[in-house]
Structure 1
C-alpha cells in the first residue's frame, strides 16, 4: 500500500495515501464552557484550478447553507505574510447566541507537488469582538510566517471568474435595493407591471446593468395576468453600473440564499469585482 510521510507536532509517521488530512488547531481560553475568544487554524482542498476568490465564494455559499441566520458583514482583500489573502467577517446564530467570526483565507502549497490548499485562520467571539480581541487577532495575523507559500505565478487569479448568481433590483422610488439569489427569483418576485414602467433597475453580481426582455406581455386590464420577462446584459455603456447608483438606496433587503447583511457588504462585493 502506498503511504505518505506525515509530520505532526509530537511525532512523524506514515499513513495510507488515500487518507485525507483534516487537521485542525484550536486555541481557547478555558477547558470548560464557552470561551470569550477562540482561534482555529484549518485547511481545505481547492477544486480543480480554483483561485483564491473562487474558493472564497464557494466557502461563503457553503456557510450560508450550513450556518443558521448567516450574515456576511464584509469581505476584503489583504496580505498574509506577503501572500494574497481574503478576510471574511460574518455572524450566525448558535443556540440563541449570535457568533461573530473573522476568517482569513490564503492559498498554500498542497501535500502533492504542484497542488494547492486553502489555509483558514479564524477568530471567533460570541456576541461580537471587543477592541482587545480585535487587536489580538490582528496581532496573530501579523505574526504569521507561511512555511509553504505559493509562488508568484500560482497566486495569480484565473483570467475568468465564475458568474455569481446574485441579481440586484433597485427601486429608486422606495430607495431600496433588493438582493436576489438568482435571476429566476428576481423576475418572479418583482412586479412585471412595475418593470414595464421602468421603475426598477437590475444589475448582476458584479454590478453590471441588466435589462428586462418580456417573453409574455402584461395584460391590458388591471386584474389581468401579469407578463413574464428575463434579464439580459446591456450592450454598450448606456446604463450606469450599480456602483454609480448605490446612493439612491438607503437600505438592502437580502432575500433567502443571499449572504449579504447591508449596503456596506454590497460595496465590498462590488469592489472585489
Structure 2
C-alpha cells in the first residue's frame, strides 16, 4: 500500500526547517558581531590636535608636548607634561624604560629615586611608574612619571611619558599628587591598540 505524507506534516516540517535555518543565521550573525567588536579598530589617518586635525606627511616628525601649569609665570608650583617620542618598531616597554632611566641618571644633578621602577596601568594598558627628585640651580624638583607605548596615526610606535613636576621646597604635596592621579585615572585612549598588544598577537 502506498503511503502519502499529509500536507499538515509537510507544512510543519517546512516550518521546523525554516526555524532551524533562522536560528543558525542568528547564531552566525552573533558570532560575526562579536568578532568585529573584538577586532582592533583602524588607526586614525589624521593627526589630531586640540581644535583641529590634518593629514601629516610621514616625513614630518612630531615633536609636540602638552604642557599644563598652574601659573603663567615660570616656574609653576606644579606642572603636567605629556610627551611622545618616536621609537624603533622592535622596541619594548622594559627596554625603553631602562634607557630612559639611564639618560635621567646622566643628565640630572643629585638624582635620587623616591620610588623605584614598578608596573602600572594607564587606560587599561601596561605602563611603568617611577618617582624621583633632583636639583635645578640648587632648588629641589620632584617628579612622578608614567611611561607606556602607543602608536601614532602612521602606525609608528611611540614612547609616551606623563610627568608631574613639583617645585615645592619639601617635595610633591599630597594635593599635587592627588591632582596628578586624578588626571591619569581619567585618561582614555583614542585607540585602544598599544605596542604591547601587537607584540602579543605576533607571539
Task: State the TM-score, normalized to the length of structure 1.
Answer: 0.52
Distance 2:89 2:113 in 1: 25
Distance 1:119 1:37 in 2: 20
Query: Which one of the candidate residues 167, 178, 185 is aligned to 1:135?
Result: 178
Tell me if structure 1 keeps the 8 A contact 2:89–2:157.
Answer: no
Higher relative contact order (CA 8 A, sep 6+): 2
Distance 2:177 2:49 in 1: 30
Deviations 1:246-265 (A, max 9, x none): xxxxxxxxxxxxxxxxxxxx
Tell me if structure 2 keeps the 8 A contact 1:68–1:92.
Answer: yes
Structure 2 residue matching 1:27: 3-state secondary structure = strand
Query: Which one of the candidate residues 90, 96, 119 is aligned to 2:132?
Result: 90
Deviations 1:22-67 (A, max 9, x none): 1101110110132211111111122341111111101111121222
Match of 1:154 in 2: 198
Distance 1:24 1:109 in 2: 16
Match of 2:118 in 1: 76
Distance 1:116 1:9 in 2: 21
Distance change (3 Å), C-alpha of 1:136 and 1:20? same
Task: State the TM-score, normalized to the length of structure 2.
Answer: 0.68
- The RMSD of aligned alpha carbons is 2.2
Distance change (3 Å), C-alpha of 1:55 and 1:97? same
My pick for the range that moved more, 81-90 or 71-80, is: 71-80
> Higher strand fraction: Structure 1 or Structure 2?
1
Query: Which one of the candidate residues 31, 42, 45 is aligned to 2:72?
Result: 31
Question: Aligned pairs, how many?
Answer: 154
